[in-house]
């Protein structure tokens, strides 16, 4: 029987905090008695305390999920923590110019601590359970990526090309590394410092990736990755597997480097500012990468060769997320898309009407996908498979059997 494509549309009401309506758009290739992936909105909240009447800011923090909380920062007015499963606000913390880069969480349960920097040039440590600020330290420039905590040391990078090592328990300054970049245009983004053994990897706006000694910030090696004259920034947080680090410059260079020596193993003409995603299971020899020219690439890990690509109609994609044979990403001017890794075709999508820059967070336990939109609205989508029964070629209905878990 001929395979048909069916577009499923659904309208779901939002909470009273939002206006208008949303739709679920699913483009699926169906066969008789097969399963389809369903994205069902279950949660929607405006994360700002007041309506934002100024220009739209870059809300790109990925939500953080624990058993009891959902932690979300916005680039407008600060941080908000919601209770699970109620969705009620547990506490808010006002931060001037918001939190764009993200939050690092350390510790377990209600004893966990949140570490983050804001648009006000401050880095903070906050109790997760209460919102109490434990300490704050001025770093004199906005933080556009979340800090890293490793064995009592907090490492943070600012938009001024400076990396700081701080005592995590107190915020006391331990060391600084100042790249002192001058004379070039740069993209408004930075890497998150990545700890590899006793060293820290960080990228800078002059197109260079460096390795610093974690205990004192002393330079171990540096390597030029960005090859252009404009926007050669290395803002892509290094992704590490074994003794290899994968990192990109904005102007068009994705590189694999040896983490111990900095030797470049291969370099390909793909530009981006987001981290590479490592393939898993049957695709463990591959990398997945969103480029600044609006593509999502599947790349051969050993050589950097492009294998397959998805081109967006407009905008750029978030960092891809892999789960159970699926590739999930958001579009800055479109939808959240779910792609089957076997066929590399879209099997489901959800259109919030706002686009997103936030890399989605997948909760495998609850089968939920969380993200913040470009308008600072926080969403959760339930992922599940449903049986589809076919009576006639022109009429398909869902069976009455319960949905299968994602």
Q: Which pLDDT score, from 0 to 100, does residue 28 have?
A: 35
Cα gap 335→297, rounded to integer Å: 18
3-state secondary structure of 102: coil
Q: What is the pLDDT of residue 15?
A: 38
Question: Which among 284, 195, 213, 297 has a CA at the least distance from the CA of 254?
Answer: 297
| pLDDT of res. 54 | 67
Residue 4 is predicted with a pLDDT of: 31
The tokens 């686009």 sit on which residue?
355
Task: Report the pLDDT value the prediction gives residue 186, as an integer from 0 to 100.
Answer: 65
pLDDT digits (tens, 9 = 90+) for 229-273: 677 889 999 999 999 999 999 888 999 999 999 999 999 999 999
Sheet of 69-74, strand order: 64-65, 69-74, 78-83, 89-94
Q: Which residues of the chain have pLDDT under 70?
A: 1-33, 53-56, 182-186, 228-229, 388-406
Residues of the chain with CATH 2.40.128.630: 51-146
Confidence (pLDDT) at 6: 31
Mean pLDDT, rounded, of the chain: 86
Q: What is the DSSP string of 204-229?
A: -TTSEEEEEETTT--EEEEEE---SS
CATH architecture of the region 51-146: Beta Barrel (2.40)
pLDDT for position 251: 85
User: What was the pLDDT predicted at 51?
Assistant: 80
What number of other Cβ atoms are within 10 A of residue 298's Cβ?
A: 21
Which of 248, 359, 352 has its CA nearest to residue 39? 352
């Amino acid at each position: 029987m001929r395979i048909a494509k069916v577009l499923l549309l659904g309208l779901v009401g939002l909470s009273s905090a939002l206006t208008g309506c949303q739709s679920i758009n699913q483009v699926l290739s169906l066969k008789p008695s097969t399963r389809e992936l369903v994205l069902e909105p279950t949660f929607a909240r405006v994360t700002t305390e007041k309506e934002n009447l100024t220009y739209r800011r870059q809300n790109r923090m990925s939500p953080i999920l624990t058993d009891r909380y959902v932690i979300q920062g916005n680039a407008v007015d600060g941080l908000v923590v919601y209770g699970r499963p109620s969705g009620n606000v547990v506490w808010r913390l006002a931060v001037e110019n918001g939190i764009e880069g993200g939050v690092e969480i350390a510790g377990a349960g209600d004893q966990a601590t949140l570490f983050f920097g804001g648009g006000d040039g401050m880095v903070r440590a906050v109790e997760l359970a209460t919102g109490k600020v434990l300490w704050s330290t001025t770093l004199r420039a906005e933080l556009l990526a979340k800090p890293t905590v490793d064995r009592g040391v907090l490492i943070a990078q600012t938009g001024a090309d400076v990396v700081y090592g701080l005592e995590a328990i107190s915020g006391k300054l331990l060391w600084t590394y100042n790249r002192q970049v001058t004379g070039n245009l740069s993209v408004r983004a930075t890497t998150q410092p990545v700890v590899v053994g006793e060293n820290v990897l960080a990228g800078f706006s002059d197109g260079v990736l460096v390795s610093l000694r974690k205990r004192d910030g002393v330079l171990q090696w540096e390597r030029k990755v960005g090859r252009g004259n404009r926007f050669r920034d290395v803002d892509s947080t290094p992704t590490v597997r074994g003794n290899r680090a994968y990192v990109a410059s904005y102007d068009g260079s994705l590189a694999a480097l040896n983490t111990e020596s900095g030797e470049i193993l291969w370099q390909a003409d793909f530009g981006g500012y987001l981290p590479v995603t490592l393939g898993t299971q049957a695709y463990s020899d591959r990398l997945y990468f969103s480029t600044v020219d609006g593509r999502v690439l599947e790349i051969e890990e050993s050589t950097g060769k492009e294998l397959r690509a998805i081109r967006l109609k407009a905008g750029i994609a978030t960092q891809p997320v892999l789960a159970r044979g699926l590739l999930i990403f958001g579009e800055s001017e479109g939808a959240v898309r779910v792609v089957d890794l076997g066929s590399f075709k879209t099997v489901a999508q959800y259109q919030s009407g706002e686009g997103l820059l936030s890399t989605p967070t997948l909760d495998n336990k609850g089968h939920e996908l969380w993200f913040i939109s470009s308008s600072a609205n926080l969403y959760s989508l339930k992922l599940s498979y449903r049986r589809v029964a076919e009576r006639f070629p022109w009429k398909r209905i869902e069976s009455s059997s319960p949905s299968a878990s994602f």
